[in-house]
Amino acid sequence: MPAYPADMIGIDRWVRWQLIDGRKVPLQVSGRYASSTDSGTWSSYREASRAKVGDGLGFVLDGDGFGCFDLDDVLVDGDLLPAARKFLDEHESWLVEISPSGKGLHVWVYADSQAGWVRDIDGIKVEFYTRGRYMTMTGVKFQQ
């Protein structure tokens, strides 16, 4: 089992996801579409991790303390871009996972609920979300 914190595993905000037409689409454990804003489509970690539908796990951000930075295209041939190294050094996180593409990072933090944003920071695209989104989970930790 990936080393996700107990408070994350202990809440029913898990989905599955599948790559469809180039998009990562959230799925219920039944295989039907899930929603990042409808809690009736989410499951427990146990149910989602045992389900076989889709390509992997996802976690829904619901504004209650979890936040995730999504850094795109910061790993080139497995090497971290200097701007991404600087970003990681400046942000205290409890988990950094390699994204499904193998080229990006998901940087997990505790954060108050706020509007999501997309910015260019030192030449890298950074997105940040705390609610109304789900994030793919790979279980592949980035070794800092």
Is residue 103's pLDDT more than 50?
Answer: yes
Cα 66 to chain centroid distance, Å, stands at 10
The C-alpha atoms of residue 89 and residue 70 are separated, in whole angstroms, by: 15
Which residues are annotated as catalytic?
Answer: 70, 72, 106, 127
Say if residue 104's pLDDT is above 90: yes
Phi-psi region of 74 (alpha: psi -120 to 50; beta: other; left: phi over 0): alpha
Instruction: Give the closest residue to 39 by CA, choosing from 23, 56, 15, 16.
Output: 15
The contacts of residue 48 (CB under 8 Å, 6+ apart) are 14, 15, 16, 29, 57, 58
Which tokens is 36 given? Answer: 């990042």
Mind listing the pLDDT tens digit for each residue in 110-126?
Answer: 999 999 999 999 999 99
Task: Give domain limits for the chain.
Answer: 6-62, 66-133
Q: pLDDT digit string (tens) for 5-50?
A: 899 999 999 999 999 999 999 999 999 999 999 999 999 999 999 9
Mean pLDDT of 83-102: 95
The predicted structure's pLDDT at residue 108: 96
pLDDT value of residue 1:
47
Q: Which two tokens stand for residue 98?
A: 């390699």
CB 14, CB 60: distance < 8 Å = yes
Mean pLDDT of 39-68: 97
- pLDDT recorded at residue 4: 87
**What value does the mean pLDDT of the chain take?**
95
Q: What is the pLDDT of residue 2?
A: 56
Query: Residue 141's Cα: distance from chain center in Å?
Result: 12
